[in-house]
Amino acid sequence: MVALGGALGSVGRFGLGQALARFDAFPYGTLLANVLGSLVIGICAGLFDADQRSRPAGLFLMVGFCGGFTTFSTFSLQTLELMHQQAWLKAGGNMVLSVALCLLGTWLGFLLGQSLRKTA
């Protein structure tokens, strides 16, 4: 389940990056993948209890898909490249936006997951 989820997440991240490649002056694809992945993992964390997270669906979504879809290592490299280009505002913006929006996405996803659990 982890490998299948990871493969699908990686393909999804690649597709998203390709779709947003025309904006190569700023890593929008990586930022969006990290925000969406944070939202998905937040939904799962709110929806699944601790035991469910280690079952096939939790492993597929949280470990596999989110692990393959989110791109922290790519985020780090792209930020470093912006710094090497002395694009300080873009590098700083990427760091602040990535951290703030991913935390917000995880929190909103967690609330949504809890809400879905209560209605199920």
Encode the chain (120 residues) as per-residue pLDDT tens digits. 999 999 999 999 999 999 999 887 899 999 999 999 999 999 999 999 989 999 999 999 999 999 999 989 889 989 999 999 999 999 999 999 999 999 999 999 999 999 999 987
Contact 13, 33 (CB under 8 A): yes
Dihedral of CA 101/44/70/32: which sign? negative
| The model's pTM | 0.85
Which tokens in the block code for residue 4? 């299948």
Rounded distance, CA 31 to CA 27, Å? 6
Name the token pair of 81. 């490249």
Neighbours of 109 (CB within 10 A): 22
